[in-house]
Structure 1
């Protein structure tokens, strides 16, 4: 049996990784999101991109833009009524696609560039994800950010072995800016394949990455797929340490402690650990955090996951003191049960408030800056969230709001990637999930750069027979 890898996404983009492992008539897809590049962007919660797919035709438009793997066995037939196999074969310039009797999907985490296709899978597809990822997805569905899925969801714990049809997955949680992010080590009779998912070494949980490395070393990994988000032409020559998560939180506290006017905050709600810490900091500084109704509902839903909050004494009391919902908004969104606050109350005591922004709430700068207290300038804190910088800066300049970027990103530095690959020492390195993965520097000559739609025989790749390994110097 010749096991194979197929590459349909994420080869020169951030996100949208679509790699399929074929074991006979069984297929395993990892991951299942939309890339941050192209005609559409991943629909992130609380950011409204100005151009989104046509409602009801999303999957067809993703497929016809090569933003989803062209394997029709994955998808609910009702979502692709206008597309035939011949359409997709012509698009990819292929005479066939791999055929599977059974499909599995492994979703590494709940950032939308890794899971946005989840609502479109058919019910006989089994999707594996960490239990914290599933809790996050349920909260996203409850808050109306995403549709639910017909697929069968199977959750796993960290360091669990999943036995599939002729191969197994050893799950390993990695450190990223969302809890539950997991890679895996695939064991089969033709080799061992490790997948890092998105990862970093500068967060609170570096030990997760040390365990990932140790596990791969002990297994003598043959093929390693790693993200390369932070790899650029100059990132190796101009090596810099990523800002530690503790530093981000220290800077946040310093800014709000000395702020005399209104504070705006752009932070990703999916980074639950950071949001928890920011809420605790706001409480220490006697500040009120304002959420829009949809984010508040998401937060109330994620609060049901006790494992995320069990180490915090009486967090409910902290929430009651700190969190408010802006009261002007439509009541069509499900109630969050947090207390409400109005614009008049905010503008007459601006120092007291931190306004957690969404892109749809940016026009509220008009009320917040034109009304009420005007003696102290407002500040804008950008804390790790994708943003249209040109649009954002236009609004900030118009209202003379001071900008502070305290972001540290959720991704490994170039040097960290080099260190990880050298410690694991696989036979083959496949860099993915980056705009310029070919710029990854390595002391080894075993970096393989697949092309879109490529079919690779794993045994031949490991033995160096597939095609000359790509040098990257």
Structure 2
């Protein structure tokens, strides 16, 4: 007799890189398809690039899943589809290596983001078989029915994935939060999820070690206020670094620049994404390296006539601009020679944190040019207390925490829990036998 089973290929003890496979009969649905940074294995970078997914598998940066990667000629009997919760690299980084004939289900927002990323040469750039699905609409793949429910994560199209099989109901939260500008989306997800009555809730736990005062959590509204204050009171240059896959964040910098009588100056890639997702074009764009831009981006700049500014144009005139300088453009500071007491607002752009070797190098550049580093970001992930409240509100039969360095800290004594293990095959029998965690199971002592 056929029944639903599921298996974790990656992402059980890492932040990002979630890959879960659900099977029923001869059909298999896999979600997500990301890469994760790991400091314990050889890595690839802009100079040392993988030749194929086989290279990534060889050093532990991609799981060995037969039948999904290009160049893998192993025969498999499973009919396979992939679903993507949102467009961040730790959820999509393996898409460039996926077979082009496999259906890839995404929300319409994520599909649009992937298309825009391809246009600026930062996407999968493969002719993948996308199947864009409207929010809350059901789509079918063999015995699977799946649905994308929007959540707030700060990037267009971010969604939880609901899955129905003939004998099971599963929910994958993707990444979500309650302290963003669209809290209502996550709250609506919780309401829909509770009514869905899931057997299993795969819940993210990025901030599992967050044991501090909830009032110290930085919200998107805090960022809006902070950017405005920093820009209004800056005695010299205002520079910033944002994550281009979060175009809505740029509204804070646009409004602050206007209030401070400064011109907003953006990197071309960020400007393109801001325009296409938020409909804004009252900014200038750096003119440096224009000849190296992708064709679609170069054509867009030409057609719109957006003002271009050279680094030489702002030298000595920094007070007239609020300028984005991404990490890979820090060499602009050599040409600008910023005045002392300028500020560099790091607003969740890359490098993302101290775990990245580029982080310390960024700080050295800022120190060398006398720019004050100011953290000005808001996490895309719910606090631990919010995750517990979400879990208890949904009331799944079982929760399985993932996307976390300390997943055992995510859970509730009101909800049975199974701690996931890589490659173990789970079924509804495991759900029936799951136990409720005790206080000691959470091990909330700071490690």
Q: TM-score, normalised by structure 1?
A: 0.83
1:402 alignment partner in structure 2: 372
Residues 99 and 427 of structure 1: is their aligned pair in 2 closer, same or farther, counting only changes over 3 Å? farther
SS at match of 1:402: strand
| Residue of structure 2 in register with 1:51 after alignment | 45
What is the aligned-residue RMSD (CA, Å)?
A: 2.5
Q: 2:326 aligns with which of 345, 358, 374?
A: 358
CA contact (8 A) 1:122 1:150 kept: no
- What are the equivalent positions in structure 2 for 1:398-437 lying under 5 Å apart? 398-437=368-407
Partner residue in 1 for 2:424: 454
**Residue 163 of structure 1: aligned partner:** 140
Given that 1:76 and 1:122 are in contact with CA atoms closer than 8 Å, whether structure 2 keeps it comes out as yes
**Structure 2 vs 1, CA of residues 468 and 286 (structure 1 numbering), >3 Å: closer, same or farther?**
closer
Q: C-alpha displacement at 1:33, in angstroms?
A: 0.8
Q: Give 3-state SS (helix, strand or coil) of 2:442's partner.
A: coil
Which position in structure 1 is the counterpart of 2:242?
267
Matches within 5 A, 1:280-319: 280-296=255-271, 298-299=272-273, 303-304=275-276, 308-309=278-279, 315-316=280-281, 319=282
Equivalent position to 1:72, from 66, 79, 93: 66
Contact 2:96 2:124 in 1 (8 A): yes
Match of 2:157 among 175, 180, 201: 180
Q: How many residues align?
A: 426
With over 3 angstroms needed to count, the CA separation of the structure-2 counterparts of 1:282 and 1:440, relative to structure 1, is same
**Are the equivalent residues in 2 in contact too, given 1:17–1:33 (CA < 8 A)?**
yes
1:194 aligned to 143, 152, 171, which one? 171
- C-alpha deviation, 1:405, in angstroms: 1.0
Aligned to 2:292: 332
Aligned partners of 1:17 and 1:432 also within 8 Å: yes
Aligned residue number for residue 46 of structure 1: none
Structure 1 residues 170 and 360: CA distance shift in structure 2, 3 A: closer
2:190 is aligned with 1:221: no
- How many angstroms does 1:151 deviate by? 2.5
6 and 66 in structure 1: CA distance in 2 versus 1, 3 angstrom threshold: farther
Structure 1 unaligned runs (5+)? 42-48, 86-97, 310-314
Q: List per-residue Cα deviations over 1:44-69 (Å, max 9, x = no partner).
A: xxxxx983584351422222233323
Q: Does 1:323 align with 2:284?
A: yes
1:425–1:354 CA distance, 2 compared to 1 (3 A): same
Q: Is the 8 A contact 1:132 1:179 kept in 2?
A: yes
Structure 1 counterpart SS, 2:331: helix
Residue 20 (structure 2) pairs with residue 60 (structure 1)? no
Q: How far is 1:161 from its partner? A: 1.0
2: CA distance, partners of 1:130 / 1:196: 14
Residues 40 and 51 of structure 1 are in contact (CA less than 8 Å); yes or no, is this contact kept in structure 2? no
Separation in 1 of the partners of 2:78 and 2:252?
46
Supply the distance in 1 between the matched residues of 2:5 and 2:431 (Cα, whole angstroms).
11
1:189 deviates by: 2.4
Q: Is the 8 A contact 2:398 2:418 kept in 1?
A: yes
Q: Secondary structure at the match of 2:313?
A: helix
Aligned-pair CA distance for 1:445: 5.9
1:118 is aligned to 2:118: no
1:216 is paired with a residue of what secondary structure? helix
The answer to whether the aligner puts 1:137 opposite 2:114 as a matched pair is yes
What are the Cα deviations for residues 412-458 of structure 1, in whole angstroms up to 9, with x where unaligned?
000001101111111111100111111225223622112222221x2
